[in-house]
Amino acid sequence: MCFNIQPVFHIINRYRDLQPACQSSFIFEAVIKLSFVSLQKLKDVDSVIKIVELDGGDLVKDYSDEIERMLGSKMKNLVLSSSQFDYYNSMLINTVDEDGNNVDLGGEFPLEENEHFNNLLVNTQQSNIQVPTNVYNKDPNILNAIYNSEALNDVFISNFQKDPTLTWQYFGSSTGFFRIYPGIKWTPDSNGVAAFDCRNRNWYIQAATSPKDIIIMVDISGSMKGLKMTIAKHTINTILDTLGENDFVNVIAYTDYVRYVEPCFRGTLVQADLDNREHFKLLVEELHVKGEAKIKNAMKEAFKILNEARANGQGSMCNQAIMLITDGAMEDFESVFEEFNWPERRVRVFTYLIGREMTFAQNTKWIACNNKGYYTHISTLADVQENVMEYLHVLSRPMVINHDHDIIWTESLKEVDPVRCLQLSHGILLGVVGSDIPLMEVMKLAPRYMLGAHGYAFLITNNGYILAHPDLRPLYKDGKKLKPKPNYNSVDLSEVEWEDTEETLRTAMVKGETGSISLSIRASVDKGVSELSACSDSPPPCSFGMVLTKGHGSLMFMGNVSVEEGLHDLTSPDLSIASEWTYCETDIDPAHRKYSQLQAAIRYLLGKEPDLECDEVLLQQTLFDAVVTAPLEAYWNALMLNDRLEPGVETAFLGTRSGLMRIMRYAGVETRVAKRFLTPADKDNLFTIDHFPLWYRLAVENTPGSFYYYAVNDKGPSPSVSSPPNHHNSVIISSDSLFVYRVSLFDYQAMCKNSHHHASSARPLLSVSLSQCVSVSGHKQKKVEALQPCDTAYPGFMYDSSVREANSLIKCGRCQKMFVVQQIPNSNLVLVVTQADCDCSPQRSVFLNGSEHNATVKCNRMKSQKVRRRPESCHAYHPKEDAKDCGGASAIFLSTSLFSASLLVSLVLHRWT
């Protein structure tokens, strides 16, 4: 008897006609399920047909019912995944629709202002989820991963209860979502887009992979013209964005010859810091297509660079990889791998096939699969981000399989971030968990009062870049807004200290020798994170340094007074202590956070808060200072009551080494000229975490009994003094007889106006600020064009106090003016008298872009590899790694075999009819 199998063929033929990219997974599973059902039915036919006659209609109905049940189950599972598990989406919380109902994945999410979290509205009882706009927030993979990470919420809360000094805790998933505690309302950008993707952040990338040497090879032959080249450039930029200061890189463009994108970097690897990455991006934009692609020579060049770096102990000394970006590999390339990479395969090769054509897909994939890499096909700009991220997952395999999840310390504008990797079995990266530690908390550990008037503490990374330093200027003013400088986290220690040609200081710092100590963060941070992944703790790869005063302040005067006597004077209304210093630790117990440092110190000394942790030496010194300076209060009052004040005196003040200040205001705020002087808004004149006040530091250098005048106005202090190293302040330029000699100072943190870009210069070369007469700071200028990081040089003049008077002439263009300079006895003041009928306005800064000498200096600086401390661990290889998982259409090939089986069964059934 015959029966109709046509519906089965209809499903199979329809599926077979679809392009692979359009075949959805649940339809494929339907065909696979059909093949298994068919096999079972075939078995039944074999055993029963000899006895009974089958009803084809019933058989087809059974097939149809089975397919319907299976497809229904698949769809039901998808629906259940969405409806059975909801989460708080940080973009949607507390949002309602037109009917006043909570939107999907929103819901009521209580938020309260919290001082510990910068007065933001947060929920300390619940974390929530941020999903980038380019990731579907109900994707089954996302939902499953979010559900599996729900346990982190309790861990985050527990961590915060154990250590209330913790701030943000978070988990970045390899699927793209970001779990953050405490929960917050996520603010999209001006276009309503959540562009933040945790997988692109430095802390995620550094934790997910070990340090790496990367050679990027890009095909610029004629076939790459148009959209292909645009995609290729975007791919290069995206790869560069995944690199950090522990990585090394170079970019090669090839046709029938090999071309280094930056000739200065020929044959070497350069540190992938922000400056070099941005430099490469600008040069990549200038690439043009031409000629015919010859991959062999370019591949040899790439291997030579990597092999020489490894042999000479340069670069990262860990992972090495070549990134091949092309629209097809057409020539014989196997011999190159036989010569340079096989059988060890120390260098991984990742291939990116650009464009819609698949003609050379097999060759391009073969290169990756035979060199422990990964192959991806990028046909549109939208494909770039996800495809580039695949290489990070491959490099993370050895670490994940071996369960070696070191703590990685990364830097941001105000925090250091310890992060760890989490994993599933078989080398699949689950994600990265981390916590922010405010740099302010770290710097408070330095005993400010012991360092002396000119002493300070600082932090540098293992690469010598500054995390915290009094001369680090991470922000710049753009109009009325303060913005972070693009390169704020790649300022080298040598760029804010006096130049040390032998690099003894820097060497000691990065090696942890004399002059520095290893930074030790509270163990509670590590313990909190260790609950997520059992792995050994590792010290942060940074150094904590202190600069101690040799002269002024090298000795500290100590005295003993009774607590009762000291407390009496410490409670005076005109007295305050440094609010940023740690006299007592108020952050550990939440009940203590309401106290100021002065309140906490007084309560501790009274015995009302015995559990407070306080610096006994600092408190004893503060009490002593309060007692010995108490008579000043009566003296200042007597001056006011007896009308003995000099005209114009507005404020009397005193500061001591313990951070204690006494202030007497003789004029109200309405009549004071210097309204901001010695107010919290003017931190340069207060005891801060970074330094003693400027008036204090400069006054201690003067002869006792002499006056130090410090000019102030309504906008704050504006001292006319010679600039310290690497500062670009106002200077009075006088004759060489009064200022003995002139020195050149450099500002490596300057921001300059954009200059026209040249192929050999990605940013302005050294600029020289030429000033004669007086260089005036603070002049308001209209915003004309954007600023960018640059290096500037400016003159400094060393003052000779033995010269009492001098006079000279200054040439100002077509005229000249005479001036006389005379010191004022017993002070730091200099009287300058000059003619006013000759304009000596400051000249504009001059950029020396055309100088061959400066181009050489710039090249050497960019490619220099200074003394650094490599990360302690490296995970580049594991014998259990599945190198066969190398991307491309491997899953499609497997499904095709199952599809063939189902087709075979259908044909057999057809023959039975």
pLDDT given at position 521: 26
* 206: Cα within 13 Å, side-chain hemisphere: 21
The string of DSSP letters for 529-594 reads HHTTS-------SEEEEEEPPSSTTSS-------HHHHHHHHT-TTEE--TTS-SEE-SSSGGGTT
pLDDT band at 889, cuts 50/70/90?
A: low
Q: What gap in Å lies between CA 656 and CA 557, rounded to an integer?
A: 11
pLDDT given at position 232: 98
User: Helix, strand, or coil here: 673?
Assistant: coil
Phi-psi region of 506 (alpha: psi -120 to 50; beta: other; left: phi over 0): alpha
Question: In terms of residues, how long is the chain?
Answer: 913
Q: Do residues 262 and 227 make contact, with C-beta atoms less than 8 angstroms apart?
A: no
Q: Give the long-range contacts of residues 804-813, CB within 8 A, separation 24 or more.
A: 806/734, 806/735, 806/737, 806/738, 807/735, 808/734, 808/735, 808/737, 810/772, 810/773, 810/834, 810/840, 812/772, 812/773, 812/838, 812/839, 812/840, 813/839
Phi-psi region of 345 (alpha: psi -120 to 50; beta: other; left: phi over 0): left
pLDDT given at position 907: 33
Per-residue model confidence as pLDDT tens digits over 821-838: 888 887 777 888 887 777
3-state helix, strand, coil in the chain (%, to 5): 35, 20, 45
Region 678-701: mean pLDDT is: 85
Q: What gap in Å lies between CA 126 and CA 342, rounded to an integer?
A: 52
Q: What are the strands, taking DSSP E only, across 327-407?
A: 347-354, 375-378
3-class SS letters over 714-742: CCEECCCCCCCCCCCCCCECCCCCCEEEE
Average pLDDT, the chain: 76
pLDDT band at 806, cuts 50/70/90?
A: confident
Q: What gap in Å lies between CA 375 and CA 365, rounded to an integer?
A: 5
Q: What gap in Å lies between CA 820 and CA 808, rounded to an integer?
A: 7
Of 401-405, 770-774, 847-851, the least confident: 770-774
CATH 3.40.1440.10 applies to domain 210-386 = no
Structure tokens that stand for 458 in this block: 């600082």
Statement: residue 655 has pLDDT above 50? yes
* Residue located via tokens 């629906």: 79
Q: What gap in Å lies between CA 745 and CA 724, rounded to an integer?
A: 9
Of 113-117, 379-383, 641-645, 847-851, the least confident: 847-851
* Residue located via tokens 């997952």: 393
pLDDT given at position 58: 59
Burial call 474-483: b when 16+ CB within 10 Å, e when fewer: bebeeeeeee
Structure tokens that stand for 566 in this block: 């000291």
Statement: residue 707 has pLDDT above 50? yes
* Residue located via tokens 């670490």: 399
Region 411-430: mean pLDDT is: 68
Q: What are the strands, taking DSSP E only, across 285-343?
A: 319-326
pLDDT given at position 116: 85
Type of residue at 203:
W
Statement: residue 7 has pLDDT above 80? no
Strand 661-665 relative to strand 712-713, pairing: unpaired
Q: How far is CA 444 from CA 12, 449, 472, 592, 623, in A?
A: 70, 11, 17, 17, 21
Top mean-pLDDT range of 4-8, 358-362, 622-626, 678-682 = 622-626
Per-residue model confidence as pLDDT tens digits over 537-548: 444 556 777 787
Measured at the alpha carbon of residue 344, what is the angle toward residues 342 and 348, in degrees to the nearest 5? 80
Region 473-488: mean pLDDT is: 87
Beta bridge partners of 819: 808, 834
Domain boundaries, the chain: 5-52+557-711, 75-202+408-436, 210-386, 740-849
Region 142-158: mean pLDDT is: 92
Distance in angstroms between the alpha carbons of the first and the last residue of the chain: 7
pLDDT band at 268, cuts 50/70/90?
A: very high
* 748 vs 599, more confident: 599
Cα torsion angle, 151, 154, 159, 164, sign: positive
Which among 364, 1, 370, 432 has a CA at the least distance from the CA of 178?
A: 432
Name the DSSP class of 407.
-
User: Helix, strand, or coil here: 638?
Assistant: helix
pLDDT band at 896, cuts 50/70/90?
A: very low
Per-residue model confidence as pLDDT tens digits over 195-217: 889 988 888 888 888 999 999 99
Q: Do residues 239 and 204 make contact, with C-beta atoms less than 8 angstroms apart?
A: no
Q: Do residues 558 and 589 make contact, with C-beta atoms less than 8 angstroms apart?
A: no
Note the pTM of the prediction, 2 decimals: 0.73
Per-residue model confidence as pLDDT tens digits over 601-653: 999 999 999 999 999 999 999 999 999 999 998 899 999 888 888 888 889 99
**Helices and strands in the chain: count of H runs, count of E runs:** 22, 37
Burial call 522-537: b when 16+ CB within 10 Å, e when fewer: eeebeebbbebeebee
Residues 6 or more apart in contact with residue 487 via CB below 8 angstroms:
274, 275, 278, 789
Type of residue at 457:
A
Per-residue model confidence as pLDDT tens digits over 327-344: 987 777 899 999 999 999
Q: What percent of the chain has pLDDT over 90?
A: 35
* 550 vs 474, more confident: 474
